[in-house]
Chain A
Amino acid sequence: MNKIVEKYKLSESVFKFIVEAPMIAKSRKPGNFVILRIGDRGERIPLTIVDSDTEKGTITLIVQNVGVSSSKFCQLEAGELITDLVGPLGKATHIYKAGTILALGGGVGIAPLYPIVEAFKKAGNRVITVLAARNKELLILENEMRQWSDEVIVMTDDGSSGRKGLVTEGAEEVIKREKVDECVAIGPAIMMKFCAQLTKKYEVPTQVSLNTIMVDGTGMCGACRVTVNGETKFTCIDGPEFNAHQVDFDEMLQRLRAYKSEEDQARNKK
Chain B
Amino acid sequence: MTDHTEMLKQERNTPWRVELRNSVPGKDRIAIERVKMNEVEPLERIKSQTCEVNCGLTPEQALHEARRCMDCVNPTCIEGCPVSINIPKFVKQIEAGKFLDAAATLKEFSALPAVCGRVCPQEKQCELKCFYSEKMNKEPVAIGYLERFAADYERLSGKIQIPKVEERNGIKVAAIGSGPSSLSFAGDMIKLGYEVTVFEALHEIGGVLKYGIPEFRLPNSVVDVELENLKEMGVNFEKNFVVGRTASFDDLKELGYKAFFIGSGAGLPNFMNIPGENLNGVMSSNEYLTRVNLMYANQSDSDTPIMLGKRVAVVGGGNTAMDAVRTSKRLGAERSLIVYRRSREEMPARLEEVKHAEEEGIEFMNLANPVEYMPNAEGRVAKARFQRMKLGEPDASGRRKPVAIEGDIFDIDVDLVIVAIGVSPNPLIPACLPGLKISRWGTIEVNEETMQSSIPEIFAGGDIVRGGATVILAMGDGRKAAASMHRYLQEKQKK
B201 contacts A218, CB within 8 Å? Answer: yes
Contact yes or no, A255 B280, CB < 8 A: yes
Cβ of A134 to closest chain B Cβ, rounded Å: 26
Complex CA distance for A263 and B184, rounded to whole angstroms:
40
| Bound form: Cα–Cα A262–B305 in Å | 6
CB distance from B286 to the nearest CB of A (A): 5
A83 to B273, CA, bound (A): 37
The one of B246, B277, B284 in contact with A24, judged by C-beta atoms closer than 8 angstroms, is B246
Contacts of A263 in B (CB 8 A): 305
A224 (CB) vs chain B CBs: closest residue: B287
CB-defined contacts of A72 to chain B, threshold 8 Å: 303
Closest-CB distance, B31 to chain A (whole angstroms): 50
* Contact call B291/A215, Cβ cutoff below 8 A: yes
Which of chain A's residues have a CB closer than 8 A to the CB of B242? 86-87, 89, 218
Kindly provide the distance from the CB of B372 to the nearest chain A CB, expressed in whole angstroms.
15
Beta-carbon contact of B306 and A262 below 8 Å: yes
Contact present for A222 and B283 (CB under 8 Å): yes
Number of A residues with CB within 8 Å of any CB on chain B: 41
A220 and B296 alpha carbons, distance in the complex (Å):
17
Interface status of A81 (Cβ within 8 A of chain B): no
Chain B residues with CB under 8 A of A219: 267-268, 426-428
Q: Mark B281-315, 1 if CB is under 8 A from A, else 0.
A: 10110110011000110010111111100000000
Contact flags (1/0) for B478-492 with A, using CB distance below 8 Å?
Answer: 000000000000000
Interchain CA distance A258-B308 in the complex, whole Å: 12
Q: Is B392 an interface residue (CB 8 A)?
A: no
Name the B residues within 8 Å of A220 (CB-CB). 211, 267-269, 286, 290, 426
* A-B residue pairs in contact (CB < 8 Å), sample of 26: A24-B246, A27-B251, A41-B296, A43-B305, A84-B239, A84-B240, A85-B240, A87-B246, A88-B245, A89-B242, A216-B201, A219-B428, A220-B267, A220-B269, A221-B286, A222-B283, A222-B286, A223-B287, A227-B278, A251-B278, A254-B280, A258-B280, A258-B281, A258-B380, A259-B305, A262-B306
For the complex formed, measure the closest distance between the CB of B426 and the CB atoms of chain A, giving whole angstroms: 6
Minimum CB–CB distance from A241 to chain B (whole Å) comes to 16
Chain B residues in 8 Å Cβ range of A266 = 303, 305
Beyond A27-B251, A86-B246, list 12 extra A-B contacts (CB 8 Å): A68-B303, A69-B303, A88-B246, A215-B304, A218-B202, A218-B428, A220-B211, A220-B268, A227-B278, A258-B380, A259-B307, A266-B303
Chain B positions 81 through 114: 1 when the CB is less than 8 Å from some CB of chain A, otherwise 0: 0000000000000000000000000000000000
Given contacts A23-B246, A216-B202, contact A221 B287 (CB under 8 A): yes
Q: How far is the CB of A63 from chain B (nearest CB, A)?
A: 15
What is the size, in residues, of chain B's interface with A at 8 Å between Cβ atoms? 44
Cα A181 to Cα B278 with chains together (Å): 33
- CA separation between A193 and B132, bound complex, in Å? 66
Q: Is B248 located at the chain interface by the 8 A CB criterion?
A: yes
A interface residues with partner B (beta carbon < 8 Å): 23-24, 27, 37, 39, 41-44, 68-69, 72, 83-89, 215-216, 218-223, 225-227, 232, 237, 251, 254-255, 257-259, 262-263, 266
Q: Is B440 an interface residue (CB 8 A)?
A: no
Does B379 touch A at the CB level, under 8 Å? yes
Contact A39 B427 (CB under 8 A): no
Contacts of B211 in A (CB 8 A): 220
Residues of B within 8 A of A27 (CB): 245-248, 251
With contacts A215-B295, A262-B307 taken as known, whether A257 is within 8 angstroms of B286 at the C-beta atoms is: no
Closest-by-CB residue of A relative to B204 is A84
Whether, in the assembled complex, B495 has its beta carbon less than 8 Å from a beta carbon of chain A, the answer is: no
Bound Cα distance from A42 to B297, whole angstroms = 10
**Cβ-neighbour of A215 out of B240, B290, B296, B428 (below 8 A):** B290
User: How many angstroms from the CA of A237 to the CA of B428 in the assembled complex?
Assistant: 8
Grouping DSSP codes into helix (H, G, I), strand (E, B) and loop, the B interface class, with mixed when no group exceeds half, is: loop
Report the Cα distance A258→B306, complex, angstroms. Answer: 10
A211 to B284, CA, bound (A): 19
Q: Which of A44, A222, A254, A258 is the one whose CB lies under 8 Å from B269?
A: A222
> 7 closest A-B pairs (Cβ-Cβ)?
A262-B305, A221-B287, A43-B303, A86-B240, A84-B203, A258-B280, A220-B267
Q: How far is the CB of B139 from chain A (nearest CB, A)?
A: 38
Of A39, A87, A254, A259, the residue contacting B245 (CB under 8 A) is A87
User: Using Cβ atoms and an 8 Å threshold, which residues of chain B touch A257?
Assistant: 280, 379
A220 CA to B202 CA, complexed, in Å: 10
* Docked complex Cα distance between A44 and B295 (Å): 8
A258 cross-chain contacts in B, Cβ below 8 A: 280-281, 307, 380
Chain B residues whose CB sits within 8 angstroms of the CB of A83 once the complex forms:
203
Residue among A39, A89, A218, A226 with max Cβ neighbours from chain B (10 Å)? A218
Distance (Å) between the CB of A238 and the closest chain B CB? Answer: 10
**In chain B, residues 295-347, which have Cβ atoms closer than 8 Å to a Cβ of chain A?**
295-296, 299, 301-307
List, in ascending order, chain B residues with CB within 8 A of A254's CB: 279-280, 379
- Chain B residues within an 8 Å CB radius of A41: 296, 299, 301-303
- With both chains docked as a complex, state the minimum distance between the C-beta of A222 and any C-beta of chain B, in angstroms: 4
Interface string of B179-212 (1 = CB under 8 A from A): 0000000000000000000000111000000010
Shortest distance from the beta carbon of A88 to any chain B beta carbon, whole Å: 6
Residue on B nearest A40 in the bound complex, by CB: B301
Give Cα A223–Cα B281 distance, bound, in whole angstroms.
Answer: 11
Complex: A44 Cα to B302 Cα, angstroms: 11
- CB of B410 closer than 8 Å to a CB of A: no
The residue in chain B whose Cβ has the minimal distance to the Cβ of A91 is B431
> B267 touching A218 by the CB < 8 A rule?
yes
B271 on the A face (CB < 8 A): yes
* Residues in A neighbouring B379, C-beta threshold 8 A: 254, 257
Distance (Å) between the CB of A30 and the closest chain B CB?
Answer: 15
Contact flags B225-246 to A (C-beta < 8 A → 1, else 0): 0000000000000011110011
Q: How far is the CA of A223 from the CA of B296 in the complex (A)?
A: 16
Question: Which residue of the partner chain, among B246, B271, B380, B428, contacts A232 with CB atoms under 8 Å?
Answer: B271
- Please, how many angstroms separate the alpha-carbon atoms of A218 and B239 in the complex? 14
Q: How far is the CB of A79 from chain B (nearest CB, A)?
A: 20
From residue B246, how far is it (CB to closest CB) to chain A in Å? Answer: 5
Do the beta carbons of A44 and B304 come within 8 Å of each other?
yes
Q: How far is the CA of A188 from the CA of B280 in the complex (A)?
A: 19
A161 → chain B, closest Cβ, in Å? 34
Interface centre among A39, A87, A221 (most CB of B within 10 A): A221
CA distance A264 to B299 in the complex (A): 17
Select from chain B the residue with minimum beta-carbon distance to A238.
Answer: B427
Give CA–CA (A255, B379) in the complex, Å: 9
Nearest-neighbor residue (CB-CB) of B267 within chain A: A220
How does the 8 Å CB contact mask read for B406-444 relative to A, with 1 for contact and 0 for none? 000000000000000000001110000000000000000
